Amino acid sequence: MTNQIATKTPVNKPFTSADHALINQQPIAPSISIDGPLTESPSLSGDTEAASRASGNVLNITGLTVDIATPRGTLHVVRDVSLHVKRGETLCIVGESGCGKSMTSLSIMGLLPKSAKRSSTRFEFLGKDISQASKSQINALRGNKMAMIFQEPMTALNPAYTIGEQLTEHYRHHLKATEADARARAVSLLEKVGIASAAQRLGQYPHQLSGGLRQRVMIAMSLMCDPELLIADEPSTALDVTIQAQILRLLADLQKELGIAMILITHDLGVVARIADRVAVMYAGQIVEQGTAAAIFSAPQHPYTRGLISCIPIPGRTIPGGKLGTIPGVVPSLIGDMTGCAFRDRCASAQAACAGNIPVHQTPHGHQWRCVLEPSEAQAT
Ligand SMILES: Nc1ncnc2c1ncn2[C@@H]1O[C@H](COP(=O)(O)OP(=O)(O)O)[C@@H](O)[C@H]1O
Ligand code: SF4
Ligand SMILES: [Mg+2]
């Protein structure tokens, strides 16, 4: 299989360290509100809640596992994933197709298919443990405190209802707002996402809008209830190149302006380079490396991350229309137990130890990666 990252058309302006410096200057709110609809959920101990408030984490997950039963055996689509995202921060999850990015995001949203089973050792949202939350509690969060933007807006928008009906429904339901208030908010958000003649658009149906406009509507819809966490799963992949860039810029601007926590899922490291504060690299259901965007791009440690980065076109160095690097080989099957490093069939540095337990390295700044190579070796190869 060809690595998708190698074949994506670049939509970005060149990434510079100044970009990250700018992004990283965003203020992180010192504390988070834990008021909200989760009054019935199991409470955390005072210590845990205080720690969560102090850390500013909107979402904090450890040991997330998702298994899907299939006639061929159990697919381990998410394996021991730990991640967190703070208010005002964009975490990008990157990796090739089929590595578990969508399953990770769907499990956060409580939208996994029925055949999937989720477990975790910690699942905190806004400082509260929601691992045991009931379906109705998760439903209350979804579309309210956490919202998701999907790759293809037509699958999320209902063709039988007008844009206005779809924009206002959740808002009225969750916030008990009047129709007039809901319509006013919808118009103001459509304007915010750059849709002209917003009031008239409310009466239109999804098929009457272009793909780019539909995705803008989806973004407006996701913001209706003022979410704390926004998950965007490949939000621009279905659009043409120019529109992709506009949608990504819009999302990045809104995230900064509203100071929300955003998880952006993509297989395009060029996009990540422009938008991320922190990056989690997934491979075969696992996070193999995560850290600040600056650390991931300036000192990638895992051979898979370095392979992905080598596939990014570099302005001035990559010949337009020329062939980009690819990572040879295919992603392994996710069926059955996986021992050793899942990347070893494709890794040029693989050695006997890679079939055993793989250590997790961590720097004092939170840069983590799973690999048998020592940091200096990894940097040198
Ligand atoms: N409904 C499903 N039933 C069975 N397997 C699924 C289902 N959805 C996804 N998968 C499998 O789970 C794995 C991870 O998928 P996904 O999270 O969608 O990957 P990504 O978003 O990284 O491309 C893939 O192997 C995919 O085939
Ligand atoms: S653990 Fe081994 S196979 Fe896996 S990335 Fe490191 S060197 Fe390569
Ligand atoms: Mg996906």
Q: Write the CATH number for 118.
A: 3.40.50.300
The residue contributing the CA closest to ligand 1 atom 9 is 103
326 belongs to a structural domain: yes
Shared-domain flag, residues 212 and 308: no
Residue 329 Cα to ligand 2 midpoint, Å, equals 14
Q: Please, which pLDDT band fits residue 219 given cuts at 50, 70 and 90? A: very high
Q: Which domain holds residue 200?
A: 152-224
CB–CB of 371/302 below 8 Å? yes
Shared-domain flag, residues 132 and 270: yes
Give me the number of domains the chain comprises: 2
Shared-domain flag, residues 196 and 163: yes
Q: How far apart are CA 52 and CA 141, in angstroms?
A: 18
Q: Identify the residue with better confidence: 319 or 23.
A: 319
Residue 96 Cα to ligand 2 midpoint, Å, equals 17
Residue 243 Cα to ligand 3 midpoint, Å, equals 20
Q: How far apart are CA 152 and CA 356, in angstroms?
A: 40
Residue 180 Cα to ligand 2 midpoint, Å, equals 58
- Residue 9: pLDDT above 80? no
Shared-domain flag, residues 161 and 138: no
The residue contributing the CA closest to ligand 1 atom 5 is 68
Of 224, 258, 287, the residue at which a domain comes to its end is 224
Strands 261-266 and 90-94: parallel
Return the closest-CA partner of residue 67 out of 285, 249, 252, 283: 285
Query: pTM for this one?
Result: 0.84
| Least confident interval from 1-5, 71-75, 285-289, 371-375 | 1-5
CB-defined site of ligand 1, < 6 Å:
68, 70, 75, 77, 95, 97-103, 113, 115, 334
Shared-domain flag, residues 77 and 198: no
| Least confident interval from 37-46, 289-298, 308-317, 333-342 | 37-46
Q: Could you tell me the sign of the dihedral formed by the alpha carbons of 67, 70, 74, 75, in that order? A: negative
Average pLDDT over the chain, rounded to whole?
Answer: 82
